[in-house]
Amino acid sequence: MSQPASLFAAIFLAALFASVVLQLWLARRQTRHVQSHRTAVPEHFAGKITLEAHQKAADYTVARTRLSIVDTLVDTAVLLALTLGGGVAALAGAIGELPIAILWQDVALVVAVALIGAVIALPLSWYRTFVIEQRFGFNRMSVALWLADLAKGALLGALLGIPLLCLVLWLMARAGPLWWLYAWLAWVAFQLLVLALYPTLIAPLFNRFAPLTDAEVRERVERLLARCSFAAKGLFVMDGSRRSNHGNAYFTGFGAGRRIVFFDTLLARLQVDEVEAVLAHELGHFKLRHVLKRIAWFAVASLALLALLGWLVGEPWFYAGLGVPLAAPRYGVALALFMLTLPVFTFLAAPLASLYSRRHEFEADAYAARNASATALVAALVKLYEDNANTLTPDPLHSAFYDSHPPAAARIARLEAAAA
Nearer to Zn ion, 87 or 406 (CB): 406
Closer CB to Zn ion, 162 or 382, in the complex: 382
Contact segment (CB under 5 A) with Zn ion among 96-104, 181-189, 358-366, 408-416 equals: 358-366
Contact between residue 1 and residue 319 where contact means Cβ atoms under 8 Å apart: no
Answer for the pair 228, 123: CB distance below 8 angstroms, yes or no.
no
What dihedral do alpha carbons 168, 169, 170, 171 form, nearest 10°?
50
Closest CA to 136 of 62, 70, 36: 62
Residue 282 Cβ vs Zn ion, minimum distance, rounded to whole Å:
7
Q: How far is the CB of 410 from Zn ion (least distance, A)?
A: 14
**DSSP alpha helix (H) spans, 230-373:** 264-269, 272-287, 290-312, 316-321, 331-346, 350-371
Separation CA 289–CA 286 (nearest Å) = 5
Interface of this chain with Zn ion, residues 208 to 267, rule: CB under 5 A? none
d(CA 207, CA 331): 38
Q: Which is closer to Zn ion, CB of 88 or CB of 270?
A: 270
**Sheet containing strand 259-263, strands side by side:** 209-211, 234-238, 259-263, 249-252
Q: Which is nearer to Zn ion, 168 or 277 (CB)?
A: 277
The C-alpha atoms of residue 307 and residue 144 are separated, in whole angstroms, by: 43
Only segment of 28-36, 93-101, 356-364, 395-403 that touches Zn ion (CB under 5 A): 356-364
Closest C-alpha to 209, from 262, 152, 267, 144: 262
CB of 266 to Zn ion, least distance (A): 14
The binding track of 361-380 with respect to Zn ion, each residue x by CB under 5 A or -, is x--x----------------
Q: How many CA atoms lie within 13 A of 295 on its CB side?
A: 16
Q: Which is nearer to Zn ion, 284 or 310 (CB)?
A: 284
Least distance from Zn ion to the Cβ atom of residue 300, Å: 22
Strands 234-238 and 209-211: antiparallel
Contact 294, 251 (CB under 8 A): no
Nearest distance in Å: CB 353, Zn ion: 15
**Piece in contact with Zn ion (CB under 5 A), picked from 41-49, 94-102, 317-325, 355-363:** 355-363
Q: Which stretch binds Zn ion (CB under 5 A): 51-59, 169-177, 270-278, 353-361?
A: 353-361
CB of 279 to Zn ion, least distance (A): 11
Could you give the count of Cα atoms lying within 13 Å of 402 in the half-sphere of its Cβ?
A: 14
Judged by CB, which is closer to Zn ion: 33, or 358?
358
Nearer to Zn ion, 169 or 368 (CB): 368
Q: Which stretch binds Zn ion (CB under 5 A): 181-189, 333-341, 354-362, 381-389?
A: 354-362
The span from the CA of 311 to the CA of 302, in Å, is: 14
CA end-to-end span of the chain: 67
Question: Residue 46 — φ and ψ, nearest 5°?
Answer: -60, 135
Q: How far is the CB of 129 from Zn ion (least distance, A)?
A: 25
The interface region with Zn ion, picked from 10-18, 129-137, 197-205, 357-365 by CB under 5 A, is 357-365
Q: How far is the CB of 384 from Zn ion (least distance, A)?
A: 11
Residue 133 or 361: which CB sits closer to Zn ion?
361
Rounded CA separation 102/104 (Å): 5
Q: Which stretch binds Zn ion (CB under 5 A): 53-61, 289-297, 319-327, 359-367?
A: 359-367
Query: Looking at beta carbons only, is 175 or 295 nearer to Zn ion?
Result: 295
Q: Compute the least distance from the CB of residue 336 to Zn ion, in Å.
A: 35
Residues between 288 and 347 with contacts to Zn ion, criterion CB under 5 A: none
Number of residues that bind Zn ion (CB under 5 A): 2
Nearer to Zn ion by C-beta: 322 or 364? Answer: 364
Question: What span, in angstroms and rounded, lies between the C-alpha atoms of 132 and 278?
Answer: 27
Q: How far is the CB of 387 from Zn ion (least distance, A)?
A: 17
Q: Which positions lie near Zn ion, rule CB under 5 A?
A: 361, 364
